[in-house]
Homo-oligomer: A and B are copies of this chain.
Amino acid sequence: MTIKDIAERCGVSVSTVSRVLNHHPDVSESVRARVLEAAREAHYVPNNSARDLVRTRSDGIGLVVRGVGNPFYSKVIHAVERAIDGAGYSLVLHQIGSDDDELLAGATISRSKKLQGLIFLGGKGNYTAEDIVILDVPFVCCTYTVPFTRLPRESYSSVAIDDRKEAYRAVKLLLDRGCRKIGILLNARDDRSIGELRYMGYCRALEEAGIRVDETLVEETGTFALPNVYKAAKCLLERRGDLDGVFAIADSMAMAAIKALHDAGRSVPGDCSVTAIDGIEMSAYMLPTLTTMAQPQSELGTAAVKTLVDMIQGRCGNRHILLPASLRVGGSVAPAE
């Protein structure tokens, strides 16, 4: 696959493809995105040495966020901002939609803003070596890792919690408090990202306790949008009125689940205990307050910036950091007997 093939595929001239791949600014964003997408599909590898000679960089670090409105990201973004500022770089904040491709978005802004590096806040866990070819700067996956492919660990950095383990702990707590019919609310079991990892943790906790995973207790919501999660939780309750515990993979999902339980006439934690993962501020002010595995939100952001800056400045290569979540006990779980 040559530049000419990419040009034909995109219906643009060879010089346009060249301008995109060589980071010239005089290309529209839509053409730029199209060409990068085609280059990636074609596994096109640019000639780095020639490119780097002509390139000048800004002092910008890009933060690609999957929805700045996600309450879990709020403290992470603050910490990233402070750390970037403290390190003498400037933040370029770029928001993408829930279905957007973070790598393509990152590659596009990296070129148009001549960034030094990228931090992805939220993303997929199945990048391949070919997927990341379009990224021409160091990058850090923040709040997630890439465990679902053979992507060499030295080709990217990550700062996250151990999703499987923290999900295991959240479900183990329900088991310890006597729950046996434990439902799970999650976006999808096979999202190749945190949904799948947290589902694995749920399964492991049940299996360790000698409980078979019961399909009728697994509810996939498709999205994290509260109205959808609320509807899904209602379906779960209609199907399994006898459940005595719910593990929601996010605090916001747990809020919708607790409302659904309440609206179905079931008390929390009297009839059903609820745990989650995240530790957003608001879930400590709901009634009952949520029992959750609180992610170290500020530390995740700070460590992501430190890792990236070390890479940019050549002080280290790629790094993978797992930070522990901490149990925040609320009123949503029945007291220990």
Q: Which of A98-120 contact B (CB under 8 A)?
A: none
Interface residue ranges of A80-97 to B (CB < 8 Å): 81, 90-91, 93-95
Task: Flag if A95 contacts B95 (CB, 8 Å).
Answer: no
With contacts A255-B282, A259-B287, A282-B226 taken as known, whether A77 is within 8 angstroms of B95 at the C-beta atoms is yes
Q: A29-B90, A95-B81, A226-B281 are in contact. Are A255 and B69 (CB under 8 A)?
A: no
User: Which residues does chain B contribute within 8 Å of A69, judged by CB atoms?
Assistant: 71, 73-75, 77-78
Chain B residue at smallest Cβ distance from A288? B287
Is A259 touching B285 in the complex (CB atoms < 8 A)?
A: yes
In the complex, how many residues of chain A place their beta carbon closer than 8 angstroms to a beta carbon of chain B?
30
Query: Is residue A133 within 8 Å, beta carbon to beta carbon, of the partner chain?
Result: no
Residues of B within 8 A of A71 (CB): 69, 71, 282
Of B74, B93, B256, the residue contacting A285 (CB under 8 A) is: B256
How many copies of the chain does the oligomer comprise?
2
Of B91, B230, B285, which is within 8 A of A226 by CB?
Answer: B285
Query: Which B residues lie within 8 Å of A75 (CB)?
Result: 69
Q: Do residues A230 and B285 form an inter-chain contact, with CB atoms below 8 A? A: yes
CB distance from A110 to the nearest CB of B (A): 15
Mark each residue of chain A from 12 to 51: 1 if its CB lies under 8 Å from any CB of chain B, else 0. Answer: 0000000000000000010000000000000000000000
B-chain residues with CB within 8 Å of residue A252 when the two chains form the complex: 282
CA separation between A285 and B94, bound complex, in Å? 29
Beyond A69-B71, A75-B69, A95-B77, is A258–B287 a contact (Cβ under 8 Å)? yes
Q: A252-B282, A255-B282 are in contact. List 18 more A-B contacts (CB 8 A).
A: A68-B68, A68-B74, A68-B77, A69-B73, A69-B77, A71-B282, A77-B95, A93-B93, A93-B95, A226-B282, A226-B285, A255-B286, A258-B287, A259-B286, A259-B289, A282-B282, A286-B286, A287-B287
